[in-house]
Amino acid sequence: MTSGSPITEAMVGRFDWENKLHDEGARALVGIDEAGRGPLAGPVVAAAVALPPSWYGSRLPETLSGINDSKKLSPAKRALLFDVICQHPDIHFGLAQVEAEEIDAINILKATHRAMALAIEGMKGFRADHALVDGLAVRGLPIPHTPIVKGDAKSFSIAAASILAKVHRDRLMLEWDAQFPEYGFSQHKGYGTPQHRAAIVEHGPCVLHRRSFLGKIQQQTLFQWDD
């Protein structure tokens, strides 16, 4: 195992929830977070990550000492941590996504909850018994869970999940950019930037666009969209 980084009060504090639930009997904890609730295009992605309980009160490996809320990390740092997390022999994880068509059919909240449940169910060789979830309570999870507002800044398990979800989704949008270069997905990842909105006005939506998110843009234009 990689040598650990020196322990700090902040680092231990970000295992408080894991330690509390572990002391109460949870032995297979996962952190869950999502990426992509707000964009106009692309899937919503969820990740579930189980860090080893032996790390809760001692130390993180040196290669993972930078784990943090994904929004506070540079793209390069997120990508590096993504690869380390996915390749670490003591970490279990699952990734899942729900596409734009289903988001339109069931709404973004239900789609996000579905992606979270699928992420847990997709963990190979690991059966979680409790989840720490970023944000509010989730319907439909297959295991009990504890919601934590701004959990990606309070729990290393959730922060690790936020990194996996963000990087995986960004990479998906880069792949789609090659197929639909006119929208600039590589730059904004589907979010509603002025550039993206202008591209929708000019070209109309593609298969990746969430039609239920585009009402205001549609009202501001005179063009007709094909069904």
Joined together, the tokens standing for residue 216 give 């205001």
Q: What is the topology classification, in CATH, of domain 9-178?
A: Nucleotidyltransferase; domain 5 (3.30.420)
pLDDT tens digits for range 176-225: 999 999 999 999 999 999 999 999 999 999 999 999 999 867 655 534 44
The confidence score (pLDDT) of residue 13 equals 61
pLDDT tens digits for range 53-97: 999 987 789 999 899 999 999 999 999 999 999 999 999 999 999
Helix (H, G, I), strand (E, B) or coil at 192: coil
pLDDT at 11 over 70: no
Closest by Cα among 201, 224, 158, 226 to 40: 201
Joined together, the tokens standing for residue 193 give 């930037």
Q: Name the pTM for this structure.
A: 0.90
Contact at 8 Å (CB) between 28 and 166? no
CA separation (Å) from 175 to 145, 180, 219? 33, 9, 30
Amino acid at 164: L
The confidence score (pLDDT) of residue 68 equals 94
The confidence score (pLDDT) of residue 92 equals 98
